[in-house]
Structure 1
Amino acid sequence: MGSWAYFDPEYETLNIRINPPQVSVDNSSCKDCTLVKVDSMNKPGILLEVVQILTDLDLIITKAYISSDGGWFMDVFHVTDEQGRKIKDSQTIEYIEKALGPNGYTSGILKACPERRVGVKSMGDYTTVELIGRDRPGLLSEISAVLANLHINVAAAEVWTHNSRIACVLYVNDDTTCSAVNDASRLSSMEEQLKNILRGCGSEENVAHTSFSIGSTHIDRRLHQLLFADRDYECAFADTKVDSHPSSKPKVVIERCEEKDYLVVSVRCKDRPKLMFDIVCTLTDMQYAVFHATISSDGPHASQEYFIRHMDGRTLGTEGEKQKVIKCLEAAIRRRTSEGLSLEICAKDRVGLLSEVTRVLRENGLSVRRAGVSTVGEEAMNVFYVSDASGNPVDAKTIEALRKEIGRTMRVNVKKAPLDSKAAEAGGLANTSFFFGSLLEKFRS
C-alpha cells in the first residue's frame, strides 16, 4: 500500500507565526480621525479582508495609503465613525486589533467574524436564498408574499437593483422551529415559485436564477458577485430623474505606468461609505492584485488611485480588457448609490411583515431601489430606498399616506437620501446595512 506524505496542518500559518502582523490603532497622530496601521506578510486578497473588517464595523475610510510591492503589506487607514468622530470605543478598538492581528489569521476570525450573519444566537440556523433576475415594480412584494405563504420567515436580507436587474440575498428560517429550511420538497417548491415570479413575462431560462445554501455569506460581496456574473455592467447606464446630474456619474480612467509595468486605475466620484470596499471587492473578484493605492476625500468627492496587475503578474493587455474594468468599476460604484427617499421602518418581527410592508409600498405606487432588512432580538428593522415607478421623487401626499397606513402598527421614519458624503456620515443613511452593525456586535459578544 502506498502512503501519503505527512502534511503538518500548522504549516499554513507558519509565516504568520514567524512574522506576525503588527496592528496599531492611533488616536493621537491626527486631530480629526483615527489611524489604523497594518503591517503584515502579503498574500492574495489581504487588502479586501482588511477593508471588509473596517467597513463591516460601519467605519468611514476618509484616507488610505496602501503598499504591498514584494512580500510585505503596509497600510494606513484614516477612519471615523458614521458621525465623523474618532474611534474611542474600547471594544471596537480591541476588535480591530484582534481581527487584523496574529489571532485573526491563525484562529480563523478573518473568515468567520466579518461575515454578515443573522447573529442572534436564539434564532438558530438559517438558509441563505440568492435571487437574481429582471427588476420590475412590485417584485420585492411578490417575492416576500411567496415566502410568507410558505410560512418562511425573513430574518435578514439585502436587495440591490441596477440597470433593470435585481439581486437579493435573504436569510430565512422556518417560522415555527426557527431552524434552517432543509426539507428537499419544500426547497423545491420555494425555488419553483420564486423562479416563476422572477421570470415574469419572459420565457428565457437565463432571465432568473435562484440558489440555496445553509450557512452564511458576506452579503455585500455576494451581491457584487451576483450582478457581475449577470453582466449588469454591459447595459448602458440609464440616467434616472432622482440622480441624473453629470457630477453624480463616476469617472474611471486607466493608464499604464511604464516604469513599474502597472496599470493605474483612477476613480473620481461622489464620496460615500463603503466606496473603497466596492472598488477593491470588484478588482479582487476580477482577479486583479492591488500593489499600491492612495485614497482621499475632497469635500463631497472622493479620489482613489490603484496600481494593479493580474494575480499572475500580467498587466491588462488589450483595450477591450481596459474598457471592461472601467465598466465593471462604474457598475460597482452605482449599485450602492443612495437614491430617492429613505424609509426606516421598525416593528415587532413576525412572519409576513416584509410582505405587508412591501405590499403597502407597491399599492402606493412606489418602487424599491435598494433595501436592507435585519432582525435584532424580537425587533425587525428595515430600510427602503424608494422612488415612484418612473424614477421620480416621492411626493408629499404619498409620504403622508404611507405614514397613516403603516404608522398605526409600526414606527416609521422618513428621510431624504443624503446629498453629499457629510450628510451621509451625519445621518448614517448612505449605508443600507447600518442595522447589521448591531448584529455583528451581538455575534462578537
Structure 2
Amino acid sequence: MSMKEVCCPYFDPEFENLNERIYGPRVCVDNESCEKCTVVKVDSLNKQDLLLQVVQVLTDMDLFISKSYISFDAGWLMDVFHVKDQRGNKVTDNGFINYLQQSIVTRRELKNSGELKACSEDTVKAEPESTSECTAIEMIGTNRPGIFSEISAVLAEQRCNIVEAHAWSHNACVACVAYVSDESTSTCIDDPNRLATIEDHLSTVLRPTTVTDDEFKGAKTRFLGCDSSTSHKERRLHQLMLANHDFHEPPGPTRASFSSAASDSDEDGRRTTVSIDPCNEKGYSCVNVECLDRPKLMFDIVCTLTDLQYVIFHASITSHGLFASQEYYIRDKDGCILNSVDEKQRVTKCLEAAIERRVCEGVRLELCAKTSVGLLPYITRVLREYGLTVVRADIATDGGRMKNVFYVQDISGNEVDMDIVESMQKELEPLALQVKNEVPQRPTSIEKESFSLGGEPNRLSFSLVFDSVDLGSNQC
C-alpha cells in the first residue's frame, strides 16, 4: 500500500447530498383539511427546478390543480396544491396516493444521482416500455396543412414504424417528438447512413415552402439515439416550440391573437391577459396571468418560466369559476428583475404562446387498433384527402395495440362538415366509425381566426376501432 493511499483522507461520496436526503422532499397528502379537494404539501431544501418537477408529476397523473401556494424562503421550498381527479373528485385511492408520493421523491433522487440522460435539464425515467428499443427523433419546422401526413409518409417510405409520437402546431410552427423502430426487426435504427437519409427527407418536408417563410422559421431534425430515457415529452415540445419562435405572429394577413380573441359569450367578457409589474421593495418581478382555466395550465406556465431561465420564489394560483388567476414572483437566475421593455414583452409573448399551444378546437379523433405497420400514414392520408389537417397528435403503443388521438380541422378554417365525416366513414369501411358529442367539463379553447386553431368551441369526438384489417394497397 502506497503512502498516498495511507495518508489520503476518506471522503464519503454520499456526503454531498446528505442535506437533501435528510431534509426532503417530504410529501404529505391531506384529505381532511379541504372539503372538495385533496391537499398535497411538499417541503424541501430548494433545488434547481424542483417546483417544475412536482407540477410535472401532478400533471402526468392527470390531476387538476385548482389552487396552489408556493413559497421559497431562506433556501427552503414549501408547495401547497389543491388537486382533483379528472372527474372533479378528491384523490382517495391509497395506492394512487402512495404512487404520487413516491413519484415526487423518486424523480428527485433519480435526477440528483445522474441516472437520467436527456437533451434538457429535466428528465424522467417513467417512459413506456414500447420506446426502449426505439430511435427518438425531434423535429421543428414550418406549419402547413397536411404536414403531419407528410412526416408519416416519409417515415413509412424509409421503412420506419412509428411506435410513439407527439406533435403540436401553433402559429406558423410545428414541433414533433417521435419514437421509431425498424419496420422489419422492430429494433432501434442506429446505422449512420440510414439516419442521414431519414434526416434529409424529413428536413425537406419541414423546410418552408417560400423564402419569406424561411426568414421567419427554421427546420431541424435531431436524432436522440436508442435510449428509453428522454426528457419529458410535453416539456420538450414546449422547448422546441420556443426554440422555433412560435411566440411571434407569422407574416401575412393580421390574425386575431389568443389574448384578444375571447368569445363574446365568455363570462364577464374576461380575456387572457399577461402583465409584468415590478415589486421593488422585495426585489422581484410580479407576473400576473388571467385566462380561462384548463388542465395543465400551471405546468405550461411554470415550464416556460423555467426554460426562460427565471426562478420562481413565490406564487399564488386560484380558480374562479371558469377562469384562473396566477401570480408569480420571479427573478432571473443571475438575481436580476425584468427591467427592460423588450424583456417584458418577450416574456409576455412567450407565456401567451405557452397557454395557447395546448388549446385545440374542432374535431377530436381517437383511433384504437392492433399495431400495424402503415396504419398511421394510411389514416393521415385519408384525413388529408378529405380536407382535414392534423393540428395536434398523440400516438402511443401499449400491449400490441396502438392508440392514436388526433385533433383535426378543416384546411380552410371552416367548421368540419358532417357530410365529409359521412364520406370518410364510407371510405374507411369496413372500419367502424362512431361519432358522439363531447362536452368538456372545463373550457379548453377560445375561438380563433386561423386555419390551424380555429373552429367551434364544442368538440366532436370520433372513435375508430381497428382490429384485424388488411390495409393492402392503401398503405403509404
TM, length-normalised to structure 1: 0.87
Separation in structure 1 between the aligned mates of residue 429 and residue 69 of structure 2, nearest angstrom: 46
Report the counterpart of residue 239 of structure 1 in structure 2: 256
The one of 296, 299, 308 aligned to 2:318 = 296
Report the counterpart of residue 440 of structure 1 in structure 2: none
The one of 88, 93, 99 aligned to 1:95 = 99
Q: Relative CO higher for 1 or 2, CA cutoff 8 Å, sep ≥ 6? A: 1
Deviation at 1:12, TM superposition (A): 3.8
Contact 2:361–2:407, Cα closer than 8 Å, also in 1: yes
Deviation at 1:9, TM superposition (A): 3.3
Return closer, same or farther for 1:13/1:415 CA change in 2, 3 Å cut-off.
Answer: farther
Report the counterpart of residue 220 of structure 1 in structure 2: 234
Report the counterpart of residue 299 of structure 2 in structure 1: 277
Separation in structure 2 between the aligned mates of residue 301 and residue 288 of structure 1, nearest angstrom: 25
Report the counterpart of residue 426 of structure 1 in structure 2: none
Task: Determine helix, strand or coil for the equivalent of 1:213.
Answer: strand
Deviation at 1:89, TM superposition (A): 2.5
Greater C-alpha radius of gyration: 2
**CA offsets per residue over residues 303-347 of structure 1, 9 Å max, x none?**
111010111211112111111110000011001112111111111
Amino acid at match of 1:230: N
Deviation at 1:412, TM superposition (A): 5.0
1:180-329 aligned at under 5 Å gives the runs 180-199=188-207, 201-202=209-210, 204=214, 207-214=218-225, 215=227, 216-235=230-249, 238-239=255-256, 244-246=261-263, 250-329=272-351
Separation in structure 2 between the aligned mates of residue 26 and residue 152 of structure 1, nearest angstrom: 47
Deviation at 1:57, TM superposition (A): 0.9
Separation in structure 1 between the aligned mates of residue 140 and residue 444 of structure 2, nearest angstrom: 33
Report % sequence identity: 47
Contact 2:141–2:208, Cα closer than 8 Å, also in 1: no
Contact 1:13–1:105, Cα closer than 8 Å, also in 2: no
1:329-344 aligned at under 5 Å gives the runs 329-344=351-366
Contact 2:393–2:404, Cα closer than 8 Å, also in 1: yes
Deviation at 1:120, TM superposition (A): 2.7
Report the counterpart of residue 385 of structure 1 in structure 2: 407
Return closer, same or farther for 1:372/1:330 CA change in 2, 3 Å cut-off.
Answer: same
Return closer, same or farther for 1:118/1:178 CA change in 2, 3 Å cut-off.
Answer: farther
Deviation at 1:410, TM superposition (A): 5.5
Task: Determine helix, strand or coil for the equivalent of 1:232.
Answer: coil
Contact 1:338–1:418, Cα closer than 8 Å, also in 2: no
Q: Which moved more, 1:219-228 or 1:17-26?
A: 17-26
Separation in structure 2 between the aligned mates of residue 230 and residue 45 of structure 1, nearest angstrom: 23
Amino acid at match of 2:336: R
Task: Determine helix, strand or coil for the equivalent of 1:100.
Answer: helix
Separation in structure 2 between the aligned mates of residue 284 and residue 108 of structure 1, nearest angstrom: 16
- Give ranges in structure 2 of 5+ residues lacking alignment: 117-121, 446-457, 462-476
1:33-432 aligned at under 5 Å gives the runs 33-101=37-105, 103-108=106-111, 115=124, 119-120=128-129, 124-199=132-207, 201-202=209-210, 204=214, 207-214=218-225, 215=227, 216-235=230-249, 238-239=255-256, 244-246=261-263, 250-406=272-428, 408-409=430-431, 412=434, 415=437, 418=440, 420-421=442-443
Deviation at 1:279, TM superposition (A): 0.2
Task: Determine helix, strand or coil for the equivalent of 2:35.
Answer: coil
Separation in structure 2 between the aligned mates of residue 94 and residue 109 of structure 1, nearest angstrom: 21
Separation in structure 2 between the aligned mates of residue 302 and residue 174 of structure 1, nearest angstrom: 45
Contact 2:107–2:124, Cα closer than 8 Å, also in 1: no
Amino acid at match of 1:179: T
Deviation at 1:409, TM superposition (A): 2.9
Separation in structure 1 between the aligned mates of residue 107 and residue 236 of structure 2, nearest angstrom: 22
Deviation at 1:418, TM superposition (A): 3.7
TM, length-normalised to structure 2: 0.82
